[in-house]
Amino acid sequence: MNARPSTTKRPRKRASHDPQQLSMLGPARPERTEPPLWVGVDENGLGPRLGPLVATACALETSRKDASASKLGASLGIADSKVSSGFGSMAHAEGLALAIAAQSLGRTPEHADDVLAAISLDGLDTLRAPCPSTTRAQCWSSHSVPAFGGELAQGREILASLGDARGRTQVVRVRSAILCAHTYNAAVARRGSKLDVDLELFERLLLDVRGATGRELRAVCGMVGGIRRYPQRFLHLDAARTTTIEEARTRASYYVEDLGDVTVEVDADASSLPVALASMVGKYVRELAMARQNAFYRGHDPELPEVSGYHDAVTGRFVEASRLLRAKLEIRDGCFERTS
């Protein structure tokens, strides 16, 4: 009797996710003449009721093999902004942001506008351009920094400490793309989805780093809502020049020709140093905007509470309690509260 053929299945070889191998399925990666910049991108304020949406990119130059460095970041207090910084607890993030702003300005920032001049992607004139004259003071009244007790010297010390025994690491560029309530409402109406608006800001920030430095990027971005397939939703990056490496529930990776490697991850700010730093700076930029708005309304009515702008009971009471005052001051509803 002949032996029965074996029915044992051989294990299937898993597909490689090595970008160097898979890039040949699409645009070919040119030979690198220098290491890529590690870039982290994250957003703050996608879901609140009041205040701006802020997306931030932080570019690091490092001699490390990778920029995850979560232990290094944690030892310096650089972590997910939901843990390291929050409403009423912004001193640490403020020190870092002031140090980054001072590095860009070449001087000590003294006002909120100094911080925005150093960090904002679009610049002060562009940010102010859509403001109706009656509403402008709500967002642009004078506001000194530090606003939350942060110390510039401490921030500088932390940045200097990014180099450790495993390699030198320095911040090369930090920029925040900022949409106030008015520009956010207009952008959502134009794009049809706040997730697409958020992704567009991420794209602009990546292109800004590439254009400003001329360096290829190795970017890690926080996952944008429920999006899992990104090229079909690109507005500024070219899907035809993008190679898909991996698309899964918690992670998507791509190679974008003339830009570099782009990975989108759930909880990226918990595992990537540049994403964590971007998250903290973006949180500070958003909280600084809310501090200016709170100061404006409390200047007219000291009984009004300071609010986070999120969907909480205190913010809800503030919206109702300020209604008559806003009508008297001719504050446009679309400049005050999000419609989406």
Say what the pLDDT of residue 28 is. Answer: 65
Work out the mean pLDDT of the chain and round it to a whole number.
Answer: 88
pLDDT above 80: residue 140 = yes
Q: Return the SS3 of 179.
A: strand
The CA radius of gyration of the chain, in Å to the nearest whole number, is 22
* Alpha-carbon gap, residue 120 to 134, rounded angstroms: 24
Residues 6+ away with beta carbon under 8 Å from 224: 43, 195, 198, 199, 202, 230, 264
Say what the pLDDT of residue 161 is. Answer: 87
Dihedral angle, C-alpha 148, 149, 152, 154, nearest 10 °: -120
* Alpha-carbon gap, residue 121 to 55, rounded angstroms: 10
Over pLDDT 70: what percentage of the chain? Answer: 83
Say what the pLDDT of residue 62 is. Answer: 83
Could you tell me the two tokens for 252? 């998507």
Burial of 80 (0-12, 13-18, 19+ CB in 10 A): buried
Say what the pLDDT of residue 41 is. Answer: 98
Q: Compute the half-sphere exposure of residue 208: CA atoms within 13 Å on the CB side of its CA.
A: 24
Instruction: Provide DSSP, 114-176.
Output: HHHHHHBSS-HHHHHTT--TTTHHHHHS--BS-SSS--HHHHHHHHHTT-BTTB-EEEEEEEE
* Alpha-carbon gap, residue 130 to 147, rounded angstroms: 26
Closest C-alpha to 265, from 179, 202, 200, 340:
202
State pTM to two decimals.
Answer: 0.89
- Its CATH class, for the domain covering 32-336, is alpha beta
215-240 pLDDT tens trace: 999 999 999 998 999 999 999 999 99
Cα–Cα distances in angstroms (integers) from residue 173 to residues 38, 243, 247, 270, 327, in the given order: 11, 26, 28, 21, 41
56-101 pLDDT tens trace: 999 999 876 655 555 667 778 887 656 656 656 799 999 999 999 9
Tracing tokens 């926080």 back to the chain, one arrives at 222
pLDDT above 60: residue 35 = yes
Domain ranges for the chain, please list them: 32-336
